Amino acid sequence: MLNPSVIDLLVGVADGLRAEVLEVLEPGPARDQVTAAIAIVRRVARALPGLVPYLLADIDDLQATLALLGVPPDAAAPRPDPGTDGLDVLIAFDLTLRDRIAALAEPDGALELGAPERRILIDLLGRMTERDAGLRLSPWER
């Protein structure tokens, strides 16, 4: 089923909550909860189309950076195929790569951080935060 799409369904839920539920609620905790839920559903709907491109870009960047730092790829965990693997597989793979970067960066990490390595890491982390911001899932991102 392509129509209504997942995005259409989410937007429909948000519209329905606003029109049918929010309007009849008095000010108070219940109304606050529904207001928050509407905002979150709208943010998720907005972020959804960008999620797979975001993950693929992140995975490419993390793998390239690990290679640049001389860390060999994990043969036991091949790169997922976006043609066949689901979103959950992409997310899990991305998290394993982030774990490996975090292990390099942590205070007692294995990597001896000279200036070039630190520069490579800082540049990667800057790109990651920019990508995160681009999804605009948080109400704090403008």
Residue with smaller CB distance to other proteins, 5 or 33: 33
Residue with smaller CB distance to other proteins, 1 or 10: 10
Give per-residue burial for 73-105: e unless 16+ CB within 10 Å, then b: eeeeeeebeeeeeeeeebeebbeebeebbeebb
| Alpha carbons 35 and 22: distance in angstroms, whole number | 7
36, 64, 67, 87: which one binds other proteins (CB under 8 A): 36
**Minimum distance of other proteins from residue 3's CB (angstroms):** 28
* 69 in contact with other proteins (CB under 8 A): no
The answer to whether 41 and 13 have CB atoms below 8 angstroms apart is: yes
28, 70, 72, 78: which one binds other proteins (CB under 8 A): 28
| Alpha carbons 99 and 77: distance in angstroms, whole number | 13
Phi, then psi, of 87 in degrees rounded to 5: -60, -40
| Alpha carbons 35 and 12: distance in angstroms, whole number | 15
Binding string to other proteins for residues 79 to 108, with x set by CB under 8 A, is what? Answer: ----------------x--xx-xxxxxxx-
**Interaction site with other proteins (CB under 8 A):** 28-29, 32-33, 36-37, 40, 43, 95, 98-99, 101-107, 109, 113, 115, 118-119, 121-122, 124-126, 128-130, 132-133, 137-141
